[in-house]
Structure 1
Amino acid sequence: MGHGGNVIDELVTDHREVEEIFGKIEALPPGAKNRKVYADQATMELVRHSVAEEAYLYPAVREHVAGGDALADKEIEDHSKAERIMKDLEGCEADDPRFDLLMGSLMSEVRMHLSDEEQNLFPRLRAACPPAALDDLGDKVRRAKKIAPTRPHPSAPDEPPANKLLAPGAGLVDRLRDAMSGRGKLD
């Protein structure tokens, strides 16, 4: 979280980090306790990433990219699907029979979304948006991720201005809950 560079470089680095966490989950045997820890880490990263994209990336796509409204709407719908899966996963331990099914669904959904962004949305944004604006968006995304929620909130608004107003408060509560519970931390 918070890597530097323009918005596309920042988000692609996030994608690689989530993929690395998915690899750790896949390397462990079913039911292993640390699969839940890594699932929580993936959720924390994905929620922060999604909140930042919805607050800054997708409005820029709507503004700069031809057909940007439809692109942004599709990406937000992808986020909603993943968030609903993460919410269901939140209530499962690694030995729960639903855990592997939900984790598999989440990984599939997220991998398709990341591929679509990297192959379609990011190249179109890079071509349409001035480099200085991409750099500015990178800074905004990094700041947003620092205060964003870390838990799925499927009923929360996903478009500005409501998401920008509510995310910091939810983020504070989530980070306090995470700190008190040790969520996402290996023993």
Structure 2
Amino acid sequence: MPDPNNPGQFGNREDTVEQARKGGLASHGHATTELASIGDAVGLLAEQHQQIRTLFAETLEAADTGEREAKFYTLRRLLAVHETAEEEIIHPRARRELDNGAAVIDARLHEENEAKTALAELESLDVDSAEFEKKLTQLRDDVLDHAEHEENDEFSRLRTELAPSQLHAMRRAVEIAEALAPTRPHAGVESVGANLIAGPFAAMLDRARDAITKPHGA
């Protein structure tokens, strides 16, 4: 947690998220390791993929309406934080650093926008309906397939291109977004990007993006 008595600490300065997004200037090659075994941005996002997998299972297996609604909300919140952190911090760096990075990231963004549309449709359904369960199962399969593409085509390659200090700095920006993301949906938040969808999930996306780009709520 940031220490309010230490203005120089990461998280207490307005420029720290921008520094983390840039992740330093130089690139250095490093051997790829197990993605979730190192406490950097890649490791954190790989760990979140596992959390997302678990939340999909818990939502589908919920015993009653209240539990399913709560699990579905938690799932959407994590997806909002995770995808926004990738779009604002990880994908731009991968686009610049990786060979054929533009094609790789454009494919990932297409998958992410399809997931956003699917979530908007799910939010309009009764969580106890057969249609909700069918669409959520399909979304789970699509999201986990997307996560596998990210880990193989993007994350592991970033590990070989960036210095550990750069990846650790990027992790701090992701952690700020997660800490400041909303704990409940709040309607009426306008989209800050043309590709965002209407509804509670869109509000979560907006709030997560604000946490990254304006960590002090400015």
Same fold? TM cut 0.5: yes
The counterpart of 1:123, out of the listed 156, 174, 199, is 156
Q: Distance in 1 between matches of 2:90 and 2:50?
A: 18
Deviation at residue 71 of structure 1 after TM alignment? 1.1
Partner in structure 1 of residue 128 of structure 2? 95
The counterpart of 1:58, out of the listed 91, 98, 104, is 91
One-letter amino acid of the structure 2 residue matched with residue 24 of structure 1: E
Matched, 1:67 2:100: yes
Partner in structure 2 of residue 19 of structure 1? 53
Measured against aligned partners, the alpha-carbon deviations of 1:30-83 in whole angstroms (never above 9, x if no partner) come to xx3122321221111101110111000001101211111111111111110111
One-letter amino acid of the structure 2 residue matched with residue 125 of structure 1: L
The counterpart of 1:6, out of the listed 15, 40, 50, is 40
Q: Distance in 1 between matches of 2:148 and 2:205?
A: 31
Correspondence 1:1-187 to 2 at 5 A: 5-28=39-62, 32-33=64-65, 34-148=67-181, 156-157=192-193, 170-171=206-207
Deviation at residue 158 of structure 1 after TM alignment? 7.9
Structure (1 or 2) with the greater helix fraction = 1
Deviation at residue 156 of structure 1 after TM alignment? 4.9
Q: Identity, % of aligned pairs?
A: 23
Provide the alpha-carbon RMSD of the alignment: 3.0
TM-score using structure 2 length: 0.65
TM-score using structure 1 length: 0.74
Higher Rg: 2
Q: Distance in 2 between matches of 1:60 and 1:134?
A: 10
Contact 1:62 1:68 in 2 (8 A): yes
Q: Distance in 2 between matches of 1:47 and 1:169?
A: 5
Gaps of 5+ in 1: 160-166, 173-187
Q: Distance in 1 between matches of 2:117 and 2:160?
A: 32
Q: 1:169 to 1:127 in 2, by over 3 A?
A: closer
Q: Distance in 1 between matches of 2:69 and 2:50?
A: 19
Gaps of 5+ in 2: 1-37, 196-202, 209-218
Q: 1:54 to 1:169 in 2, by over 3 A?
A: closer
Q: Distance in 2 between matches of 1:59 and 1:148?
A: 21
Q: Distance in 1 between matches of 2:130 and 2:73?
A: 17
